[in-house]
Amino acid sequence: MDLPTYAIEAKALVKTYPATKAVPAKQALKGVDLKVARGSIFGLLGPNGAGKSTFINILAGLVKKTSGEVKLWGVDIDQHPRTARAAIGVVPQEIAADVFFTPRESLEVQGGLYGVPRGERRTDQLLAALGLTDKADAYVRQLSGGMKRRLMVAKAMVHSPPILILDEPTAGVDVELRRQLWEYVRELNQLGVTIVLTTHYLEEAEALCDTIAIVNRGEVVACEPTRTLLGRLDTRAVVVTPQEPLAHAPSLVGFEGRLRPDGRLAVSFKSGAGGEVEAVLAAVRAAGVGIKDLSTEEPDLEDVFLALTYGDPNAADPTRD
């Protein structure tokens, strides 16, 4: 069987939650078109309530779509639901593991639920990959929150799915565990697994994802390679370390400056034909500020995210704290 070009395809996907006595009807997804290339690390970003969880739950079979078409690994989820769902593993935001099982037992049960023959199960391999070997026979209730999070990743991989969906996988975990999970995600991707990642840590998406879609109010407002997305904004900043501490941001002719908590002055400007940095420095000097050091900053994913989800692109502010 030929491998599909796209791991996930959604066409005109709509989900409307019906009204209840307490809540009016809500259209969570409004004709979403989205394609996730096979072998990619794909970021799915958006503010709370944007529709990300609804989209993931439709893929996982937990929510029934109102209309539209979805394919997983080339298989339509309506025509062949069991085959399609076997192509994905989902790591949900909530930790869901039986506290009276051990990690080893949890993975064995999960493998059985997916119909993986006992001789083909990768329990020990997954425990080792997620750093759980020494806790393999401890009760899940004895594990730390970070270890439980790793166990959730292992459970999602028991049937070796070609698509892994990580819904806020590093929420509430420490920096070291986040780094370990990043490394494992990259290793899985190198083995050919397509990764779909939702996260509120924008630096995480910027570091990991080769393509990012931004969803807002049930619609895809951007879906581009990460570097292309970052290139959308033409706003940059000169960050000046003054010779003497400043009590407040000075008034600059032609520019706006903001004093950061560390005492540096950040001045935003529009990239253009050249010479903008010199003009910024001239304005700073004209305001009587001595320059001890300086640097320039490019827009990052947070700037793009804010611009696309909260209105005017000019609202993206590289001088923010």
CA angle 86/115/194 to nearest 5° reads: 30
**Residue 275: partners with Cβ closer than 8 Å, 6 or more residues away:** none
Q: In this model, does residue 287 exceed pLDDT 50?
A: yes
How far apart are the C-alpha atoms of 216 and 221, rounded to whole Å?
7
State how far the alpha carbon of 57 is from the alpha carbons of 51, 78, 191, in Å: 10, 14, 25
Q: Is the dihedral of CA 95, 100, 104, 105 positive or negative?
A: negative
How far apart are the C-alpha atoms of 187 and 58, rounded to whole Å?
27
Which pair of structure tokens corresponds to residue 149? 């999070």
The DSSP code sequence of 16-29 is: EEPP-SSS--EEEE
Is this structure's pTM higher than 0.85?
no
Read off φ and ψ for residue 256, nearest 5 degrees: -120, 130
Q: Look at 138-142, 242-246, 266-270, 284-288 and tell me which has the smallest mean pLDDT.
A: 266-270
Which pair of structure tokens corresponds to residue 308? 């696309």
Q: How far is CA 192 from the centre of its chain?
A: 19
CA angle 276/310/23 to nearest 5° reads: 180
How far apart are the C-alpha atoms of 177 and 139, rounded to whole Å?
20
Chain mean pLDDT for the chain:
88
**Residue 320: partners with Cβ closer than 8 Å, 6 or more residues away:** 258
Q: Look at 39-43, 157-161, 207-211, 260-264 and tell me which has the smallest mean pLDDT.
A: 260-264
Question: How many other CB atoms sit within 10 Å of the CB of residue 54?
Answer: 22
Q: Look at 127-131, 141-145, 309-313 and tell me which has the smallest mean pLDDT.
A: 309-313
The 10 Å CB-count burial string (b at 16+, else e) for 279-302 is ebbebbeebebeeeebeeeebebb
Looking at the domain 235-298, which fold is it?
Answer: Alpha-Beta Plaits (3.30.70)
Residue 272: per-residue pLDDT: 62
Alpha helices in 222-300 (DSSP H): 226-230, 276-286
Do β-strands 265-270 and 291-297 pair in parallel, antiparallel, or remain unpaired? unpaired
How far apart are the C-alpha atoms of 38 and 211, rounded to whole Å?
12
Q: In this model, does residue 104 exceed pLDDT 90?
A: yes
pLDDT digits (tens, 9 = 90+) for 52-98: 999 999 999 999 999 999 999 999 999 999 999 999 999 988 887 78
How far apart are the C-alpha atoms of 243 and 248, rounded to whole Å?
14
* Helix (H) / strand (E) containing 91: strand 88-91
Is 178 within 8 Å of 150 (Cβ atoms)?
no
